Chain A
Amino acid sequence: MNLKNHMKKKFHLLRRILALLILGFVVWLIFKACRSEDVDHFKIERTPMRVERIRNIVHLATISYQDEVVVDSIEYYKSGSEKFAGTLSKMTDLDDIKHAISDPYVKRKIALIVQGKIEYGFDLQNPVYQLKKMTDSLMQVTLPQPEILVIATSPSGTRVFLENGTWKDYEIQYLKEKSKQQMKRDFEALHMESQAKQNIEHLIRQLIPAPYNVKFIYK
């Protein structure tokens, strides 16, 4: 009889534990549904765009360079009390619990992958640019030194690879600027000046018909 009662009690306890687990699971599902935002399903409103500035330019780009750069930032807890408070805060957020467990010393971190394109060439609005007829068969073309004309990046070429914690917009801006600077350094390390000059000389020779020979000067 005692054994029977004992078994009954255990059975009731098991049922209660199971009911609690199921309830917890349902609560978790509801929170997950509220907190997980499906970014592909929402659409922006139709708003006008404004032409803010129109500029006439004369850029002759002769080299195009594509790059992909990873930029990241990590911040650690500075003290034990900060770590305690931060971990507690993360444990109350269902999205951040995993970060509190796997990276207990990390306050926040982010990694971005940024794709960009550099166009390198000549600004022909530079007063140095000059076409001069030397003789009936010789043209002299004075060109400025080649320079980076555009470092183009955009949201479609940017991916957030990892995001842990809250990041302000100015911090993300700083990382994206850092990625542009990295791309610039990567490109400058290739020393493409002579190739850019070769390309523009080929282009100009193609435009200038016979019988002209062309002499190039770079200032």
Chain B
Amino acid sequence: MFYSRLLLIITICSFTMLMSCDETDDNIRNVEIYSIKDIGVLSTCEYTISKVIELKDRASWYKFGDRDILMSCKAKIEAGVRLDELKNEDIKVDGKRIKILLPYPEILSFDMDPQSIKTELESVNGLRSTFSQEEKNNILRQGEESIKANMGRTQILKQAKENARVFIENFYKELNFEEVIIEFKKPHEKEIPSS
């Protein structure tokens, strides 16, 4: 009787421990290759966005206590046109008149300065642990995703387009062109680049 109970307990404990084992990822992922790239991007507009990130981690049946955190951050986003995508056929000259078809503006860079990241408030009670730096980084990642997801609702691309138009017009007027017609290619879906 004793040995059967002992066996049952050992089985339950082993099962619990095995459940906590992580699955291994057997997939070989493609590695990113970091290299120097020749580019030709004209950035014409920079937005500085500030955001307050709020997280409430409430108690559950196996977690005693609550955790709340409030962080603030700022991000600098640049938008402009990729002049390296221009082809010869995109520029048409007709005497003193020039017509140029520019690529549609897009978000070119996203920078979240570490100096602008602040923990405004942190509240931990019960048996909960304080927020580690890894957790704070994960929270900031969600804040970054939120900013990127909502950038389309700002006027950044429209402003970048207008500024690019002004720059290119002035450029060709310096070359003594009397009429400068600037058109933009159709926008297509572009993700905000990760830094």
**Contact: A209 with B93, CB < 8 Å?**
yes
Among residues 22 to 61 in chain B, which have CB atoms less than 8 Å away from a CB atom of chain A? 34-57
Interface assignment of A85: CB less than 8 Å from any CB of chain B = no
A-B contact count (CB 8 A): 235
B167 to chain A, nearest CB (A): 6
**Distance A5 CA – B155 CA, assembled complex (angstroms):** 88
Chain B residues bordering chain A, tally (CB within 8 A): 88
Q: Which of A35, A51, A53, A209 contacts B127 (CB 8 A)?
A: A35
Among residues of B, the one whose C-beta sits closest to the C-beta of A65 is: B36
Q: Which residue of A lies closest to B116 (CB)?
A: A173
Q: What residue in chain A is nearest B193 (Cβ atoms)? A: A117
B128-165 interface code vs A (CB 8 A; 1 in, 0 out): 11101111111111111111001000100001000100
Whether B133 contacts A155 by the Cβ 8 Å rule is no
Residues of B contacting A60 in the complex (Cβ-Cβ under 8 angstroms)? 40-43, 83
What's the minimum C-beta distance from B76 to chain A, rounded to whole angstroms? 8
A188 within 8 A of B: no
Whether A207 contacts B74 in the complex (CB less than 8 A), given A110-B133, A169-B118, comes out as: no
Q: Which residues of A contact B47 (CB under 8 A)?
A: 51, 53-55
Say yes or no: A34-B112 contact (C-beta < 8 A), given A131-B174, A160-B133: no
Shortest Cβ distance from A66 into B: residue? B34
Please tell me if B101 contacts chain A, counting CB pairs below 8 Å. Answer: no
Interface of B is mostly: mixed
Residues in chain B near residue A47, CB distance under 8 A: 51-54
The answer, yes or no, to whether A206 is at the interface (CB within 8 Å) is: yes
CB atoms of A155 and B39 under 8 A apart: no
* A residues less than 8 Å from B34 (CB atoms): 66-68
Do B49 and A22 touch (CB < 8 A)? no
Q: How far is the CA of A131 from the CA of B135 in the complex (A)?
A: 51
Measured CB to CB, the closest approach of chain A to B74, in angstroms, equals 7
Task: Contacts A58-B167, A157-B194, A203-B40 known; list 10 others, CB within 8 Å.
Answer: A51-B49, A57-B78, A58-B42, A63-B36, A68-B34, A154-B194, A154-B195, A167-B133, A190-B36, A207-B91
Binding site for B on A (CB under 8 A): 11, 15, 18, 22, 25, 29-31, 33-35, 37, 39-40, 42-68, 95, 110, 115-117, 119, 121, 124, 131-133, 139, 149-160, 163, 166-167, 169, 172-173, 176-177, 180, 190, 192, 195, 199-200, 202-203, 206-210, 212
